[in-house]
Structure 1
Amino acid sequence: MHQVERAIFDLRRGLPVVVIAGDTRVLVQAIEGATDASVSGLAGHAGGTPALVLSRHRLAILGEPEARGAARLSLPEGTGRRRLVDLAFGIAPEVAMEPEALAGWRRSLEPAQAADRAALALMRRALLIPAALVARVSEAQRSAVEARVSEGTWLAVGAEQAERCLEGSVGMLQRVSEAQIPLADASDCRFILFREPDGLREHVAVVIGEPRSGDVAVPLRLHSACLTGDLFGSLRCDCGEQLRNAVADIQALGGGVLLYLAQEGRGIGLANKLRAYTLQDSGLDTLDADQILGFGEDERRYGVAVDMLDALGIRRVQLLTNNPGKMSALAEGGIEVVERQALYGSLNDHNRRYLSAKSERAGHLLDAVFDGDQGPTARS
């Protein structure tokens, strides 16, 4: 894991890393931060023309809706950064590129190999656009690349290890610190901070009151961090209201736990969430906007929540949610969801389309939200 962590930081800084898959060496670079010089430089270092690895979600935008997985797109020599951005996350690549060229590039698609899949996993873990510039190292350049790795200029990481980075480190969550913090709706609260072993993310368990022990189901809310809604009161979602309502509801139920998870934007990160908001302003709904960027409808994983509950000795819960996916994820992790309780915020003109997409396309249990013109709304 140590090399993967360092590789993620290098990719975020715009540096290439070497992914090793068997006897193959592949230079990998993020699309974000790439320049025309760095793109051509990657080709020179590898001794061959780079390719672009794209997720199946992005491939659907490029006219490949039947793609079952990621694929690599061969790039003509001299392809610059602007074209890469158009292909990787441009809203309408067919407008920015000649239709004949786009069709030709689609015909050059090949299934992603181990190093390609590892590259996409690293991008996702780094909260970057899930597209990667890759270049297989030729035999002529292999010794030069290995020399750069030996001298510490570049990092090398195994493809299998990198591909597993999205799974996190189950059972290795670190309980770091805690403190009593009274809240407006619950004066008896204890905040417990957990850190993932790679140090990239920290999550907080808010223990409200004295949760009942034994076989009694503990009231529980899994709340994904939302800077814009939780802190600034954004009207584009109802996250802030749900957060505060969850604290009040758990207090009224006699105590329980709220897990505040570092999963901004359904797991795509704040930078990509803001990009998705800009796309929504052009008329897309939240799910289509995420797909334009190469993401699925929900990139969150809940293994860390299961680990936090294990650390707190909680195995049976009364879950405050409207998202069946959270119920399934906890059950798969061995947590018994005894009961579900809906959790609502307020419907407004700014979040109506967002909530409609969640209800109609993502299967969230929001029928009561849209009963009548006005009324409560919910976010998972």
Structure 2
Amino acid sequence: MRQAERGIFDLRRGLPILLKDSSGDILVQAVEGLNDESLAALQSLAGSKAQLVLSRHRMAAMGHKEAPDVVALSLATLPDSLGLRELAWTRGAQLPDVTALSQGNRAHRAALRLLGRAQLVPAAVACGVAADQADAVAAEVSSGNLLAVDAAEALRLCDSGPGGLARISEARVPLAEAENSRFVLFREADGVHEHVAIVIGEPAQWPDAVPVRLHSSCLTGDLFGSLRCDCGEQLRRGVAAINAQGGGVLLYLSQEGRGIGLANKLRAYGLQDQGLDTIDADQVIGFSKDERNFRIAHQMLDQIGVAKVKLLTNNPSKVEALQRAGINVVAREAIYGQVTAQNQRYLQTKANRHGHWLHDLLGEQDEPESAEPERLPAPGAVSGA
């Protein structure tokens, strides 16, 4: 899958790649970073007019609720690069005259999945390679100017999630809330993401059910104390809670903005300032309500030697993901931040649309107020496990 992994980096650098498939080869390039010159060069090399490839989430945001997962649009008049960017993620944009709206094929699906792994806006321009341009495209591949990626291989890479996780380095890092702490860094095989396990206390002295928290990175909240979310408070309270219970593990996962990356998170913040909630804002940019893959957490815990946990979380998806992966989650304990005027709507959206267990915090309905952790069934007894 090495070529597919390289494809992620080329797309992120603003370069085109060739996606090879039995249904026909296509040249694809991210709309993000596209300019008029690169658009013209792409069409010239392929010998065909570009299509715009969008996700069903972006199509739904433009009023096309029944669109398939991936849509290939043939526009009567192809906009310039600025116009394509507006169609890709601007709120209120409407499709111009469309000569054909079709379900994307395997190569189109691969293009959007690779863009997602690159944390770019899931929108691409795609040009089918004309027969009379096949030799020219092959020459570009042979010269090393153009990367060729098998579409099926790209999809296998994206479907497999993080694989080949490597334990790279570690060091003692005393924390204000937990002086006896070690940071263990893991790197994914594709080289895009690095994650940190904060090992608190002495593993030999941990409780039978190890206190564990999965914390997705949040630059704005964790580092700068943003009032838009409760992430920073949850992070520090999570470390303190694990330390108070005899030690355990906090997994700091490189999943900014629920997996869409910092650039897209800031775009979503701009849309939230226009009145959208966090889920609808992500949809406008073309993403689902949660792009994270928690399988990485299972791999990290496995390498640390943790199989039975008490999970500190308000998110049912994290419980279910670890249960499905074979981690014995025997109990769950809430971990709250502070409700403020700035983050209340965000927390309400997480409770009402993500299903997070926050109603007690928000005072919206009765939930157990006991300080005792919630006991959970064994993995096989969980619905969907």
Tell whether the structures are fold-level matches, with TM greater than 0.5: yes
Tell me which residue corresponds to 2:22.
Answer: 22
Task: Give how far 1:13 is off.
Answer: 1.6
What is the rounded CA distance, in whole Å, between the counterparts of 1:254 and 1:212 in structure 2?
10
Tell me which residue corresponds to 1:31.
Answer: 31
Tell me which residue corresponds to 1:217.
Answer: 209
Q: For residue 73 of structure 1, what is the amino acid of its counterpart?
A: L
Tell me which residue corresponds to 1:181.
Answer: 173
Moved over 6 A (4+): none
1:298-313 equivalence runs, <5 A: 298-313=290-305
Secondary structure of the residue aligned to 2:186 is strand
Q: For residue 59 of structure 1, what is the amino acid of its counterpart?
A: M
What is the rounded CA distance, in whole Å, between the counterparts of 1:213 and 1:139 in structure 2?
67
Gap regions ≥5 residues in structure 1: 95-100
Q: Report which stretch shifted further, 203-212 or 309-318.
A: 203-212
Task: Give how far 1:20 is off.
Answer: 0.4
Tell me which residue corresponds to 1:119.
Answer: 111
Q: Answer whether contact 1:211 1:257 (CA < 8 A) is retained.
A: no
Tell me which residue corresponds to 1:3.
Answer: 3
**CA separation of 1:26/1:17 partners in 2, compared to 1, >3 Å: closer, same or farther?**
same
List per-residue Cα deviations over 1:88-117 (Å, max 9, x = no partner).
Answer: 1111113xxxxxx63x32x72101101000
Secondary structure of the residue aligned to 1:65 is coil
Q: For residue 14 of structure 2, what is the amino acid of its counterpart?
A: G
User: Is 1:324 equivalent to 2:332 in the alignment?
Assistant: no
**CA separation of 1:214/1:264 partners in 2, compared to 1, >3 Å: closer, same or farther?**
closer
1:1-380 equivalence runs, <5 A: 1-22=1-22, 24-94=24-94, 102=96, 104-105=97-98, 108-167=100-159, 172-211=164-203, 216-371=208-363
Q: Report which stretch shifted further, 165-174 or 220-229.
A: 165-174
What is the rounded CA distance, in whole Å, between the counterparts of 1:86 and 1:175 in structure 2?
41
Tell me which residue corresponds to 2:376.
Answer: none
What is the rounded CA distance, in whole Å, between the counterparts of 1:133 and 1:79 in structure 2?
11
What is the rounded CA distance, in whole Å, between the counterparts of 1:253 and 1:80 in structure 2?
58
Q: For residue 362 of structure 1, what is the amino acid of its counterpart?
A: H
Secondary structure of the residue aligned to 2:25 is strand
- Between the two proteins, the alignment pairs up a number of residues equal to 365
What is the rounded CA distance, in whole Å, between the counterparts of 1:52 and 1:136 in structure 2?
12
Identical aligned pairs, as a percentage?
Answer: 54
Q: Answer whether contact 2:162 2:188 (CA < 8 A) is retained.
A: no
What is the rounded CA distance, in whole Å, between the counterparts of 1:93 and 1:171 in structure 2?
38
Q: Answer whether contact 1:241 1:345 (CA < 8 A) is retained.
A: yes
Tell me which residue corresponds to 1:97.
Answer: none
Q: Report which stretch shifted further, 82-91 or 295-304.
A: 82-91
What is the rounded CA distance, in whole Å, between the counterparts of 2:205 and 2:117 in structure 1?
35
Provide the TM-score with structure 1 as the length reference. Answer: 0.93
**CA separation of 1:185/1:214 partners in 2, compared to 1, >3 Å: closer, same or farther?**
closer
Q: Answer whether contact 1:8 1:125 (CA < 8 A) is retained.
A: yes
What is the rounded CA distance, in whole Å, between the counterparts of 2:306 and 2:130 in structure 1?
53
Secondary structure of the residue aligned to 2:169 is strand
What is the rounded CA distance, in whole Å, between the counterparts of 2:68 and 2:110 in structure 1?
16
**CA separation of 1:78/1:288 partners in 2, compared to 1, >3 Å: closer, same or farther?**
closer
Q: Answer whether contact 1:20 1:156 (CA < 8 A) is retained.
A: yes
**CA separation of 1:261/1:170 partners in 2, compared to 1, >3 Å: closer, same or farther?**
closer
Q: Answer whether contact 2:294 2:322 (CA < 8 A) is retained.
A: yes
What is the rounded CA distance, in whole Å, between the counterparts of 1:51 and 1:292 in structure 2?
20
What is the rounded CA distance, in whole Å, between the counterparts of 1:28 and 1:340 in structure 2?
45
Provide the TM-score with structure 2 as the length reference. Answer: 0.91
When the two chains are superposed, the root-mean-square deviation of aligned CA atoms in Å is: 1.7
What is the rounded CA distance, in whole Å, between the counterparts of 1:171 and 1:38 in structure 2?
33
Task: Give how far 1:22 is off.
Answer: 2.0
What is the rounded CA distance, in whole Å, between the counterparts of 2:310 and 2:336 in structure 1?
16
Secondary structure of the residue aligned to 2:330 is strand
List per-residue Cα deviations over 1:140-186 (Å, max 9, x = no partner).
Answer: 10110010000000000000111233345655100001111111111
List per-residue Cα deviations over 1:8-65 (Å, max 9, x = no partner).
Answer: 2211221110000126211000001111121122111111111111111011012221
What is the rounded CA distance, in whole Å, between the counterparts of 1:68 and 1:337 in structure 2?
36
What is the rounded CA distance, in whole Å, between the counterparts of 2:161 and 2:231 in structure 1?
28
Q: Answer whether contact 2:205 2:246 (CA < 8 A) is retained.
A: no
Secondary structure of the residue aligned to 2:213 is strand
